[in-house]
Amino acid sequence: MSSVKSPKNEFHRLPTSVVPEHYSLQLQPNLVSFEFIGQETIEVQIKETSSSILLNAVDLSINSADWPPLEPSKGSLKISFTGVLNDKLKGFYRSKYVGSCGEDKFNAVTHFEPTSARACFPCWDEPAIRATFDVTLIVPRYKTALSNMPIKKETILSSSLMEYQFERTPKMSTYLVAFVVGAFEFVEGQTSDGTLCRVYTPMGKKKQGRFALDVAVRVLPYYKRYFGVPYTLPKVDLIAIADFAIGAMENWGLVTYRETCLLVDEQETSALNRQWVALVVGHELAHQWFGNLVALEWWTHLWLKEGYASFVEFLCVNELFPEFDIWTQFVTDIRIPALELDALENSHPIEVPVGHPSEIGEIFDTISYRKGASIIRMLHDYLGIDAFKQGMHLYLTRFQYRNAATEDLWQALADSSKKPVDEVMSTWTKQMGFPLISVSSEQQGNNRVISMIQEKFSASPRDTATENYHWLVPLTFSSSENPNKAVQGILMKEKSATFTISNVDENQWVKVNPGAVGFYRVSYSSEMLAQLIPAIKSKSLPALDRLNIVDDIFALVRAGKTSTAELLQLLEAFVNEDNYSVWTSIDNIIEKLALLFDNVDSLENLKAYGRRLYSRVETIVGWDSKENESHSDALLRSLVLSRMIAFDNKKTIQKGKARFESIRGVTNNIPADLRDVVYKAALCQAEEATFKSLLEMYKKADIQEEKERIACAMGSVKDSNILKQILEFAISDQVRNQDSVYVMIPTSKTKLGRDLLWTFMKDRVQLIRERYLGGNMASRLIKSALENFASSAKATEIEKFFAENPLPGTERNVQQACECIRLNEAWLARDYPQTKTLLASIKSSNS
């Protein structure tokens, strides 16, 4: 088993001979000149005598630094400095909005995680070096000024300046400090136990903060009950920031959000986005305990807070909105993407040694978040709800106001459950990848004996470096005796194991990994699979198990362990399917097949196959929402109609276009849940005029969500001239820097668009570097835009290009994209001839 090595570059850790205890920090941002003036006094403790004090600062001009010793072991460091409110969406930066006379105006906001507090004030910028903060902001009068704590005192300094002093913070990490200065309004409420909650929005939009506020005031008491630990600050503010690099940031007491992750408009917000807001609010508020109250020892443990929060947001949304059926969606949105990425040779272990800021930035990825969340879900199931909850309480009370490492959580959970948590979990966090469990079974009287073998699952049929891997796998089973009940099985410790299930006769099916709780894939013997297929057709197998089977088989197809033709036959078993998450999984499969076949000449036949596959469910969902339909049914409609449009279904496109015509010129009365579909229909065969009218709609849209929807639909365009215009539009001043990447990525969904986008990226690599260096947007662009090519020559070209034009922090994503490209080529070489024949014969038998 590979183990965690020490960071490449120990140099990046500060010495601990002198450490801060308290910062008194005063900042005066100028919203017109973009300069800020800062002054701080840091009380430090001297642990060992040394001749110098080393702390972090970047992009600041230091005007003076003075040092009075206070007593032998204490001193105070006074620094005055200036900086610039930058436009790079990190540190202390400016965010644009349009003023009442149409003029550009700016707010000042911070984003520090992981290493940008040092760009706002000189500090010991490491998560384990905690201190208290007294913050003072000097700001123009009549502006809102916010920080982590409530205002303690306000003073009018002049006719144009105000000074706000904030209460002292608890001992906290620097990356959680936050300031916002600007024009906002708010709605407020209180939790049942008296914590003041406010949701701040841009002026004129406070109504759109209502939903998040309702969620927040219910989430805080939920976590208090769940953790058995109260929220410890007197208030929490949630604020929507117009220019924001990521989704949201959990600053203690002042959580910042991208507008689309916080604002909900009763008319314009879709069911999917409303659900998303609930999840993001649940995620960031979970960090107030897990991440803030107990922070990380070092960034190697980043996954712990991010994986954990990405798990617990589902627990909490499930409690608040049981009608969302959110746990089922966990499997398609969190678990499956994690498995797909983690099957690559260029994946990485959850725990990685990191030192340099670009290495730290790179691990805010699907492995830390989604694999992290998935293995915690598996652990939650293995330990049981009560032991897990007790362990959380132990962990949070043991380490509150301090820092912890992964092992500390394992210890607390071991104490509460009496199970070997560290031994089990380190096999999942310290080695990359996950096992493939191959199962076969034998009938013995009234019992079924299941035999299992584990080996590392690899997306590449040629991967030979899999031998030294081995996991401790909590295995569970279900059978037709009671399809909804998981039989707690065994902890598989060796390469092979057997397990006997009693009271199962030879005609009954047995399923491994019910609920898709385990982070592994299963390969069934043909007999076991044959027994499961009728249970898929009749839907006597629960939804998660139906999707789990088809998704595992798809992974086996991509890994060359079974054929695409076989998969297409299996999909026939889903004729009666009506579950949203199962369709999401099928949709993932069919989309990836389409992306693959777009590289050769079989896309038309695949589309025909897809139209047939979706035709029944299309009739069921229809175009109009039904009275009292479920949340999932609303989501299913958009999924199905979008795919039918992507697969050129004439009737669907016609209907969508007709609806689009109905909004031209007048107010948009298309229900929010249907708009993406309608825009895609309008754009998929677009001429210039239609495209222009959507561009106009983008520019005029008053809410971000609508802009995102239009941008996403632009991916349906198939005309190269218009595609080129979309790419230019993406980097024009009509699109915020935070959104450019999300306008570009959808164009890569066709071979034509992908070629154009890659050329565009090469031409604009300098712009990409300037705008996005140090964030994870460039990584996202590279991976999504390029991974669907299918020729090794292209992979070589991409590697060569980024070797000559490096974008630090994107290296792993470049490698992952190139690995996917080579795997695609091999997949086509293996399966293309047979699949082509099959698709052609299906087509002719249906025409």
Task: State the binding site for Zn(2+).
Answer: 283, 287, 306
Residue number with CB closer to Zn ion (241 or 309) = 309
Q: Tell me phi and psi for residue 55, to 5 degrees.
A: -140, 175
Residue number with CB closer to Zn ion (309 or 589) = 309
SS3 403: strand
Q: Would you give the distance in Å from CA 659 to the centre of its chain?
A: 33
Give the residue from 509, 564, 533, 514 showing the smallest Cα distance to 331.
514
SS3 42: strand
Q: How far apart, in whole angstroms, are the C-alpha atoms of residue 714 and residue 661?
A: 17
CA of 288: how far to CAs of 227, 371, 402, 406, 587, in Å?
Answer: 12, 22, 13, 18, 36
Contact segment (CB under 6 A) with ligand BES among 246-254, 627-635, 638-646, 665-673 equals 246-254
Binding partner selected for residue 414 from Zn ion, ligand BES, none, CB under the kind-specific 5 to 8 Å limit: none
Q: How far apart, in whole angstroms, are the C-alpha atoms of residue 88 and residue 245?
A: 8
Residue number with CB closer to Zn ion (309 or 639) = 309
- Residue 730 interacting with ligand BES (CB under 6 A): no
Q: How far apart, in whole angstroms, are the C-alpha atoms of residue 127 and residue 114?
A: 9
Binding test (CB under 5 A) with Zn ion, winner from 40, 167, 243, 306: 306
In this chain, which residue has its C-beta nearest to ligand BES?
247
Contact segment (CB under 6 A) with ligand BES among 157-165, 244-252, 374-382, 646-654 equals 244-252
What is the DSSP secondary-structure string of 492-526? E-SSEEEEEE-S--TTS-EEESGGG-SSSEEEE-H
CB of 255 to Zn ion, least distance (A): 10
Residue number with CB closer to Zn ion (247 or 353) = 247
Residue number with CB closer to Zn ion (309 or 341) = 309
Q: How far apart, in whole angstroms, are the C-alpha atoms of residue 772 and residue 737?
A: 9
CB neighbours of residue 829 within 10 Å: 11
Residue number with CB closer to Zn ion (244 or 457) = 244
CB of 111 to ligand BES, least distance (A): 7
SS3 402: strand
Q: How far apart, in whole angstroms, are the C-alpha atoms of residue 44 and residue 129?
A: 11
CB of 812 to ligand BES, least distance (A): 15
Contact segment (CB under 5 A) with Zn ion among 299-307, 323-331, 635-643, 787-795 equals 299-307
Amino acid sitting at position 619: T
Give the residue from 187, 147, 141, 149 showing the smallest Cα distance to 168.
149
Binding partner selected for residue 536 from ligand BES, Zn ion, none, CB under the kind-specific 5 to 8 Å limit: none
SS3 146: strand
Q: Which of residues 353-392 bind ligand BES (CB under 6 A)?
A: 364
Beta bridge partners of 258: 241
Q: Tell me phi and psi for residue 573, to 5 degrees.
A: -70, -10
Strands of the 235-241 sheet, one edge to the other: 185-190, 196-201, 235-241, 254-258, 248-249
CB of 287 to Zn ion, least distance (A): 6
What is the DSSP secondary-structure string of 533-577? HHHHHTT-S-HHHHHHHHHHHHHHHHTTSS-HHHHHHHHGGGTT-
Binding test (CB under 6 A) with ligand BES, winner from 249, 293, 573, 694: 249
CB of 258 to ligand BES, least distance (A): 7
CB-neighbour burial class of residue 451 (10 A; exposed 0-12, middle 13-18, buried 19+): middle
CA of 370: how far to CAs of 303, 342, 568, in Å?
Answer: 9, 10, 28
SS3 698: helix
Residue number with CB closer to Zn ion (354 or 731) = 354
Is residue 114 reached through a cis peptide bond, with omega within 30 degrees of 0 on the bond before it?
A: yes
Q: How far apart, in whole angstroms, are the C-alpha atoms of residue 425 and residue 422?
A: 5
- Which residue is it, tokens 């979990």? 425
Binding partner selected for residue 286 from Zn ion, ligand BES, none, CB under the kind-specific 5 to 8 Å limit: none
Binding partner selected for residue 634 from ligand BES, Zn ion, none, CB under the kind-specific 5 to 8 Å limit: none
CB of 776 to ligand BES, least distance (A): 6
Residue number with CB closer to ligand BES (237 or 250) = 250
Catalytic residue flag (residue 284): yes
Residue number with CB closer to Zn ion (229 or 296) = 296
Binding partner selected for residue 280 from ligand BES, Zn ion, none, CB under the kind-specific 5 to 8 Å limit: ligand BES
Site string for ligand BES, 313-352 (x = CB under 6 A): ----------------------------------------
Binding test (CB under 6 A) with ligand BES, winner from 167, 237, 250, 342: 250
- Residue 413 interacting with Zn ion (CB under 5 A): no
Q: Which residues, 6+ apart, have CB-to-CB distance to 726 below 8 Å?
A: 714, 717, 743, 747
Binding test (CB under 6 A) with ligand BES, winner from 283, 659, 675, 822: 283
Binding partner selected for residue 550 from Zn ion, ligand BES, none, CB under the kind-specific 5 to 8 Å limit: none
**CA R_g for the chain:** 27
Binding partner selected for residue 424 from Zn ion, ligand BES, none, CB under the kind-specific 5 to 8 Å limit: none
Binding test (CB under 6 A) with ligand BES, winner from 243, 284, 587, 676: 284
- Residue 285 interacting with Zn ion (CB under 5 A): no
Sign of CA dihedral 204, 206, 207, 211: positive
Residue number with CB closer to ligand BES (123 or 556) = 123
CB of 272 to ligand BES, least distance (A): 14
- Residue 306 interacting with ligand BES (CB under 6 A): yes
Query: How many residues of this chain interact with Zn ion, rule: CB under 5 A?
Result: 2
Q: Where is 782: in which H helix or E strand?
A: helix 777-786
Q: Which residues, 6+ apart, have CB-to-CB distance to 61 below 8 Å?
A: 81, 82, 83
Q: Which of 268, 284, 313, 708 is catalytic?
A: 284
Sign of CA dihedral 451, 454, 458, 462: negative
Q: Which of residues 107-136 bind ligand BES (CB under 6 A)?
A: 113-114
CB of 638 to Zn ion, least distance (A): 27
CB of 250 to Zn ion, least distance (A): 6
Contact segment (CB under 5 A) with Zn ion among 117-125, 301-309, 371-379, 795-803 equals 301-309
Q: Are 45 and 21 in contact (CB under 8 A)?
A: yes
- Residue 243 interacting with ligand BES (CB under 6 A): no
Binding test (CB under 5 A) with Zn ion, winner from 180, 309, 646, 839: 309
Q: Which of residues 545-564 bind Zn ion (CB under 5 A)?
A: none
Strands of the 104-111 sheet, one edge to the other: 91-98, 104-111, 179-182, 144-147
Binding partner selected for residue 297 from ligand BES, Zn ion, none, CB under the kind-specific 5 to 8 Å limit: none
Structure token digits, residue 823 = 């795997």
Binding test (CB under 6 A) with ligand BES, winner from 120, 246, 640, 818: 246
- Residue 248 interacting with ligand BES (CB under 6 A): yes
Q: How far apart, in whole angstroms, are the C-alpha atoms of residue 344 and residue 733?
A: 38
Binding partner selected for residue 364 from ligand BES, Zn ion, none, CB under the kind-specific 5 to 8 Å limit: ligand BES
Sign of CA dihedral 621, 626, 630, 631: positive
CB of 403 to Zn ion, least distance (A): 17
Amino acid sitting at position 628: N
CB of 254 to Zn ion, least distance (A): 15
Residue number with CB closer to Zn ion (198 or 283) = 283
Site string for ligand BES, 252-281 (x = CB under 6 A): ----------------------------x-
Residues annotated within a binding site:
283, 287, 306
For the annotated catalytic residues, the residue numbers are 284
- Residues contributing to the site for Zn ion (CB under 5 A): 306, 309
- Residues contributing to the site for ligand BES (CB under 6 A): 113-114, 246-250, 280, 283-284, 287, 306, 310, 364
